[in-house]
Structure formats: C-alpha cells, structure tokens
Amino acid sequence: MRILYALIAFSLFTNAMAKGQVMGRLSVNTSAEGNKISPSLHGIFFEEISHAGEGGLYAELIQNRGFEESRIPAGTMLKNGFLEPDSSHPHFMLEPAKTDWKMEWPLKSDWPAWSSRTTGNNVVNLALTKQQPLNNATPNNLCVTIPQFSAAGKAQLINEGFWGIKVINSKTYHLSFYAHTGDGYNGKLSVLLESQEGKELAVYHFTEVKGTGWKKYTCDLKATASDDKARFVMSFENRGKVWIDFVSLFPANTFKNRPNGLRSDIAELIAGMKPSFIRWPGGCFVEGITIESAPDWKNTIGPVEKRPGTFSPWGYWSSDGMGYHEYLQFCEDLHADALYVFNAGVSCEYRSGTYVPEAELQPYIQSILDAIEYAIGPVSSKWGSVRAKNGHPKPFPLKYVEIGNEQHGPKYAHRYNIFYDAIHKRYPGIQMIASMGIGDVNRHTLDSMHHVQIADEHAYKDVNWILRNTDHFDKYKRGNWDMYVGEYATNAGVGTGNMQAALSDAIYVMSMERNADLVKMSSYAPLLVNENDVDWPVNLIHYDAANSFARISYYAINMLAANKADINLPVALTAQIAAEKKTQFTGGIGLGTWDTQTEYRDIQVTQNGKVVYNSNFATDKKEWLPVRGNWKYTDSGALAQTGEGAQMLAVLPGKQFDTYTLTLKARRTGGYNAFIIPFAVKDTNTYLRAHIGSWVNSHCAFEAVTNGFDVSGISNQLPLAPLQNNRWYDVKLEVGGSEVKCYLDDKLIMAYQQPDKLFAIAGKDTTSGDMIIKLVNAYETTAQVDIQFDKNVLGQTGNIMVTSLSADKPTDENSMGHPQAFVPVTETINAEQLKQPWTCKPLSITILRLKRK
C-alpha cells in the first residue's frame, strides 16, 4: 500500500512540477519524541513607545491631564532646543569617554494638548504655575485668567485628547478635575464633549466651582451623539481666575470595568493572545534617557494625581496611570505571570549612557527587593501592606524579574552578579533574566556572569532573514541556561508589517518551538502603536483614538500559540521548485550609490556569449534614466553620481534580462560606501542589488529595495577590504536562473540563492494525543507537500482540524479600513485526505491538527 502511495505521490510530484509548483516531502517521525515545549513560550512585552499606554492601552482620554508634560526630564538641561545631560558624566559603555548625546526637545508648548478659545470680546489668558501646588509630586497647574467676559461670547479651555477623543452615543464618561478660584470668579463652569464640527455631544453645568482651596469636582457626561475625534471643552462663565489641575476623563466601560482602567478594544486584542507572561515596562523605557529620569516604580503606585510621571525615551511623558499596580492587575486579569524589568543603575547606551557607580547601587537593590515584596510579600510586610491598602491583599503573580534592558558586556555582568545575589538570597523562587544587548546572546557577557537562569536575546530582522537562518537556534551551544527571546520582529523590507513579515515571523516562532530545549519564552516587539505618533517602523497592534486592528503577524503568532504542542516530533523536509520557475531574477539593470560619489563605465550585458547591451556614455547621453541623485556624463566617458544622500539610482529603461552576465568598471571618488549594482529591477522602487563596500566600505551584501527607500539585506554581510578612492575596479554579476554571483576584479566575493521557502515542524499534544503539523509556504506559488509518517498515524486519526492563513500578495496587510482582511480560517477534513499530498496555498501558514480517534 505504502508503495502505491509513493507512486501516486511521485506522479503528483511530476505533474506539479510541470505546472510550476513547489513540491515538498515531509517525513514525521512519531516514534522518536523530541524536546518538551515550555508552557511559557508565548508571552507579550509592553513598553511605553508610540503611545502604547498613554493614548493607547491606558483608557485616560485627556492628554497632559496634570499639566506636567512641559517639565524638562531630570538629569538634562534644555539648550538651544536640545535636551543635554551633564557632559562631564562618563558613558557606561564608552568610559573614559564622556556622554556627548543630545536630543531635540519635542514639546513646543508649556501646556501641550491644551488651548484656549474665545468668541466675541472675551479674553482668556493661560499660564502654567506652581502656585499652591495640588501636591509636591505634581506641582504644576494651569491658571486660566478671564479678564474680560460677556455672556454673549465664549471663554473656553480645550483639550484635544490623544489626537481626538472617541465619543459614542448613549455612553457615559466619568470626568473629574481639581479647581480653585479667585478674582471674583462666580462659580459657573460648563464641561462639554464637542464634535469636530463644534456640535455638543455631552454637557454638564457646574454652578459652584468656587473657593480658595483645591477642591475635586466630578460629573458624568452622557453622550447624545457620536464622534471619533471629539474634544473636551471647559467653558467659563464669568470673568476672574480659575486654577485647574488633574483633569481626567474615562469611559465608564473599561476592560473588566476597572476604575483607572484600560481601553477595552486594545486590552481585548491583547487578551486574545493568551500570553503566559507580560514583560513590562521596557525596553529603552526602563533605561531612561538619563539615569536620573529612569522610571521608579514607587512613583507609579497610589493616588494617580500624585504620580509625577516618567519621561519616555521615545519623546513624550507617561502619566504612569498604568503603573506597577495596574500592570500586576492586568497580569492577573489575563492569567499571565508578571515579568518585571528594572533599571540596573544604567541609562540607555544609545542615549546619554549615564550611570550610577557600582558602589552606589544599594538604593537600586533595595528598590527591586521592595518591588518584589509589593507584588508577592505578605500583607504583614511593609510593601505587602501597601499593596493591600491599594486594594489587593492577595499576592500578584510575579514570577520573573529582568536585570536591566539590553545591557551587555563584562561591566554589566559584574553588576548583574550583585543584583542576582541580593535577589536570590531574599527571593530564591523568583527567576532572573539577564539582558544581552541588541542581538544574539553573547559569550562575552554570559561568561562573566556567575549564574544565568535565563538570557534575553533581542531579534529585529530583515524580511526573509529567518529563511536563510532557520538553524539560528539549532547552532547555539547549549549550557545550563534557558533562552528568552524578549523582543523579536521581522521589521525591515515589510512595509508597516505585511504578509511577508507574518510568514517570516511564523518561521521564526516555529524555529523557537523546534528548539524548545533552549528557547523557553518569547515576546514580539513592539506590541502597540498609536498611528498618530509612530516611534518604531513595525508594530503588532495598531490604533487611533477610535479604532484598532491587529496585523497579520498577530494572527500568525496566535494560531501557532493556540496549537502549541508540548513535545516536538522530529521532521525532515525537502522542497523542489519546478524548472520553469527558476528564472528568478528577470528584470532590468541599474547603477546606484548610498552616501557615496561613484563613476561607472563600460557597462556590458552578454547572454549565451552574445553581447546584448553595451554602454557608450561618450556618445549616448540619453539612454540611462537618472531616478535620484546628481548623475553626470564625464569627459572620460563615465556616468558619475556626484550628489550626497541615500538611495541614488539610475536605470537602463526598457530593457529586461534573465540569465546574463553584467560587467562594468566602477570607481569611487568620495563618500562612505562604494558600488551599488541593481538587478532584477521591476520598477524604480523595487529591485535587488549587489552592494559592494556596504557598512561604510567594509562589507558586501545582496539587498532588496522596496518602496524606493526600504532596504533589507537578503544575504548576510560578508567582510570586504575597503575599496580605494579613484581606482577603477572590474565588477561582474553572473545572473543565473536561481543564483547570482558577484565578482570584484575577477574574484568571487559573494553569491546569492533564494532560500527554501517551505518550512515545517511537528509535535504532539500529550494530553489530547493530537498530532500537530505546522507548515509555512512562503513561495508565491502552491506547494504540494507529501506528508509521510513512520507508522500508521492516519489510522488512529479521527479527523483533522485545519487552520490556515494566507494572502494573495506578499505586500498584503490588514488595515484600519480592513482590519480582518487576512485572518485564519478553520475547517475540519477527513483523515483520508492526508493520504494525498497536502496543498499549501501560496503565501500561507497552515496547521493540521490530527485529532486522535
């Protein structure tokens, strides 16, 4: 029987090949059990970046509610529009060098998000004051002076929310603010929600806002109409002075209806990921731009109006309304363990890099011990009692702490040891995570640590990087430590995160699952982005004031997580692409530079030994099309790019080549890099290229360009001796059907082949006995996969649940307008169907769950 299947499979194979498909063979060894897969493999990472909390997950609708946002972050001075730290402070990584970093101060107003509006002859003057502060932690308030008022006109203070306020008809919004008055103010004040066109959506009239001491005023605003981008208005109804502070507006419905709670739609999307843990609060956020401005968890608990806020390195203030307590509550609400990251006395090395000397670390050590006590200490303990006072006597599910973010090297390892010992002594059950910089876990750092339980690798990768590096985790030398991939994402060459990103992310997650003996935890980054203030190119969940949606990667990761096996089964996969699909690099040719001035001449294309194109720049000055840059014909018969800047390009229009040899001469005359030779040019925004002298004239690599300026590596960077100025080099590209070879002065310097784009793993759910097969087909063509088992698995299978996610084009994306354009679909099929090769759709992720009879 098996032979018959093999014959059927073979004839399907040849038919499929004839149709130009991909043919794969997957052998699943169900007898040899592989590694156990950790239940904590899939978690999430929250950081205050791109308004993830403020104007995002945290449901507060008023921006700059406490008028504290024009404060200059601690440890910096404002000089000529830039924040500068104390320049005598040494940099942690570069010592003895001092810090020389500075950052443009983004805030242009003393009261960001607030403005006044008047009509008629009314006058409103605003001033930020510290007079009679509401409390010492948040000293600023706004003094509204109305020197001139007539009831015929308006005197108003407006808050724009976070790029608008979503108001829904018939819903209630809780408003509170503090005020005191002077100069004869008569006490009347109306508060409104107003549509973009100025229509009243909700209103409440206070008649008694009056008195010399701060008083809290509250009301409910019930909407009578909707608007996605409404604003909040305070309308003053007399002349005089009113001091205002801490104006807060919340929808009555928050996630799990918690007061001071979270925005439901975003929290539900996160809950849909069923994370096993939540890493918080950063990221760079935890490091701060300076050591003085880094977050302190003790400032983020207790009454919200007393929280001073934290300046996020991403250029805005967090009010810390979603503070340490709310974070722990969120973990509990999602049945997730808490993974709290704390500052190790070092600020971000890519910002000021300022730090606290090792001898002065004691307050930092005490702070983390107190944080742990707050989360899990008994109510009889100092900080456990504060937790109880804040409404949560039971311990929170804190399981992990991480010692710093992205610090690395022996100097960090030394202070890691100090923290590790102190924490382990007091809380031996808390698991500790060591940071490892941006990138792979490095021995340098690891070897300087006395004990490593979990090492945190961060992995931001180009599109298809994982296709070239599916063995990334396999190659790690195992030790007695586990790996946590604390931040990962395919985030270059994928627009804002398209199907191609989802396919790469899926393979990345599957390769972690396959290496379950090493990789025990992971979290995608960044999780959230408000589309009105984007700090990072690719993020998982998008929103504005009104709507939200998740990218395709979100659905890919979730379907893999929901079908996580608990034991791996070894697989072997082979893929073959049909012959006629093998001219993979058909397209035009071009010339380019990147921050470099270069001359090119004697460009020749030969096919089958015949010259099919020959440049003659001495006589023909029109054939090449300059796209970007300053291209000039020189007297010596070269085409020279003389301008400054990135992605300079000229192309040879109207000519397409496949399987050819391109030769040319090139010489650099100035700048940073050297030669760029585009090929497979589809249009002037989309092409592949050989970059000779990349990374400041020290490497070579093949790259892909999309959208004109998005560059992603498609091969690994190889070291290359720097190219000299003013010397002509011979460059040759041999563009074959499935391989491109690049020569410099007749020496092969790099070659590129498209990687296999079919990937599979298999595993078993030992509780249900289900067998789970996960397949990614990243080809733009159908893949027929013949799945074979070492024993009669199909005979023991009832039916098969198939979950699949696919798109038509690599560039397809979910969007605000089409939030669910690409989501997984599930169907049930008969086990018999797997006796035939399984058809994976082009650009697809498929999970076959073989239900045990």
Q: Of 162-170, 282-290, 369-377, 597-605, which segment contacts ligand AHR by CB under 6 A? A: 282-290
Cα–Cα distance, 130 to 109 (Å, whole number): 16
Q: Which is nearer to ligand AHR, 543 or 779 (CB)?
A: 543
Q: Is the distance from CB of 664 to CB of 731 less than 8 angstroms?
A: yes
Verify binding: residue 437, ligand AHR, rule CB under 6 A. no
Shortest Cβ 280–ligand AHR spacing (Å): 12
Q: Which of 85, 323, 526, 588 binds ligand AHR (CB under 6 A)?
A: 526
The nearest distance, CB 351 to ligand AHR, in angstroms, is 11
Alpha-carbon distance 352 to 289, whole Å?
6
* Distance in angstroms (rounded) separating the CA atoms of residues 245 and 179: 6
Closest separation in Å from C-beta 49 to ligand AHR = 6
Nearer to ligand AHR, 405 or 598 (CB): 405
Identify the residue among 214, 536, 633, 695 touching ligand AHR (CB under 6 A). 536
Q: State whether the Cα torsion 143-149-151-156 is positive or negative.
A: negative
Hey, what are 56's tokens? 């995002």
Q: Which two tokens stand for residue 836?
A: 């035939």
DSSP 271-330: HTT--SEEEES-SHHHH-SSSTTS--GGGGSS-GGG---EEETTTEEE--SS-HHHHHHH
Q: Which is nearer to ligand AHR, 295 or 526 (CB)?
A: 526
Number of residues that bind ligand AHR (CB under 6 A): 13
Q: How far is the CB of 267 from ligand AHR (least distance, A)?
A: 20
Closest to ligand AHR by CB, 263 vs 458, is 458
User: Whole-number minimum distance, CB 134 to ligand AHR, in Å?
Assistant: 32
* Among 9, 47, 731, 772, contact with ligand AHR (rule: CB under 6 A): 47
Which CB sits closer to ligand AHR, 396 or 488? 488
Contact flags string 190-209 toward ligand AHR, x per CB under 6 A: --------------------
**Residue of 379, 422, 438, 446 that binds ligand AHR (CB under 6 A):** 438
Residue in 476, 493, 484 with CA at minimum distance from that of residue 524: 484
Residues in 48-107 that interact with ligand AHR by CB under 6 A? 49
Toward ligand AHR, which CB reaches closer, 37 or 454? Answer: 454
525 binds ligand AHR (CB under 6 A): yes
Residue 341 vs 744, nearer CB to ligand AHR: 341
Token pair 């290496």 is at which residue? 515
Q: Order of strands across the sheet with 825-830?
A: 567-569, 758-764, 771-777, 844-852, 797-806, 825-830
Binding mask 449-478 for ligand AHR (x = CB under 6 A): ---------x--------------------
Q: Which is nearer to ligand AHR, 283 or 678 (CB)?
A: 283
Does residue 522 belong to the site contacting ligand AHR (CB under 6 A)?
A: no
List 281, 282, 671, 837, residue binding ligand AHR (CB under 6 A): 282
Closest approach, Cβ 540 to ligand AHR, in A, equals: 11
Which CB atom, from 282 or from 377, has the smaller least distance to ligand AHR?
282
| Cα–Cα nearest to 645, from 676, 672, 624, 608 | 672
Q: Which of 405/814 has CB closer to ligand AHR?
A: 405
CB nearer to ligand AHR: pick between 245 and 457:
457
Per-residue three-class SS string for 765-822: CCCCCCEEEEEEECCCCCEEEEEEECCCCHHHEEEEEEEEEECCCCCCCCCCCCCCCC
Closest distance to ligand AHR from the beta carbon of 53 (Å) = 13
Is 650 in contact with 661 (CB distance < 8 Å)?
no
CA distance linking residue 834 with residue 56, whole number of Å? 45
Name the one range near ligand AHR by CB under 6 A: 269-277, 278-286, 420-428, 675-683.
Answer: 278-286
Stretch near ligand AHR under the rule CB under 6 A, chosen from 105-113, 281-289, 325-333, 576-584: 281-289
Spatial distance between the Cα atoms of 507 and 490, rounded to a whole number of angstroms:
11
From CA 242, how far away is CA 146, in angstroms rounded? 8
Using the minimum distance from each CB to ligand AHR, give the nearer residue, 457 or 599.
457
Q: How many CB atoms lie within 10 A of CB 529?
A: 26
CA dihedral over 483, 486, 487, 488, signed as positive or negative:
positive
- The yes or no reply on residue 540 touching ligand AHR (CB under 6 A) is no
Q: Of the listed pieces 32-40, 171-179, 280-288, 448-456, which binds ligand AHR according to CB under 6 A?
A: 280-288
* Helices within 575-715 (DSSP H only): 694-697
Of 76, 248, 405, 598, which one interacts with ligand AHR (CB under 6 A)?
Answer: 405
Single out the segment in contact with ligand AHR by CB under 6 A; choices: 248-256, 276-284, 414-422, 501-509. 276-284
Q: Is the peptide bond before 283 cis (omega within 30 degrees of 0)?
A: yes
Report d(CA 275, CA 40) in Å as an integer.
8
Please give the Cα distance from 418 to 415 (Å, whole number): 5
Q: How far is the CB of 500 from ligand AHR (least distance, A)?
A: 20
If one asks whether residue 318 binds ligand AHR (CB under 6 A), the answer comes out as: no
Residue 487 near ligand AHR by CB under 6 A: yes
* Chain residue at closest Cβ approach to ligand AHR: 283
What sign has the CA pseudo-torsion 69, 74, 80, 84?
negative
Segment contacting ligand AHR by CB under 6 A, of 88-96, 277-285, 549-557, 560-568: 277-285
Beta strand extents in 76-226 (DSSP E only): 76-79, 82-85, 103-104, 114-118, 123-129, 141-148, 155-159, 165-167, 172-182, 189-194, 200-206, 215-222
Write out the E strands in 578-698: 590-593, 596-607, 610-614, 625-628, 631-633, 639-641, 648-651, 660-671, 675-683, 686-693
Our CB check for ligand AHR shows the closer of 286 and 413 to be 286
- Pick the closer one to ligand AHR by CB: 38 or 405: 405
Distance CA 30, CA 772 (A): 11
Residue type, 831: A
- Give the amino acid at 575: A
Number of neighbouring beta carbons within 10 Å of residue 295: 25
Cβ of residue 489: shortest distance to ligand AHR, in angstroms?
Answer: 8
Using CB under 6 A as the binding rule, the residues of this chain from 700 to 759 that contact ligand AHR are none
CB of 685 to ligand AHR, least distance (A): 27
Residue whose CB is less far from ligand AHR, 341 or 565:
341
Q: Which residues are CB-neighbours of 562 under 8 A, at least 6 positions away? A: 274
128/438 with CB nearer ligand AHR: 438
Among 124, 242, 269, 284, interactor with ligand AHR by CB under 6 A: 284
CA atoms within 13 A on the CB side of 395: 14
Q: What backbone torsions phi and psi does residue 528 show, to the nearest 5 degrees?
A: -130, 150
> Of 46 and 594, which has the nearer Cβ to ligand AHR?
46
According to CB under 6 A, which one of 251, 261, 283, 384 is a site residue for ligand AHR?
A: 283
406 near ligand AHR (CB under 6 A): yes
* Phi-psi domain of 700 (left: phi exceeds 0; alpha: psi -120 through 50; beta: other): beta
Give the Cα separation of 27 and 788 in Å (integer).
5
**In angstroms, what is the minimal distance from the CB of 414 to ligand AHR?**
21
Per CB under 6 A, residues contacting ligand AHR are 47, 49, 282-284, 405-406, 438, 458, 487, 525-526, 536
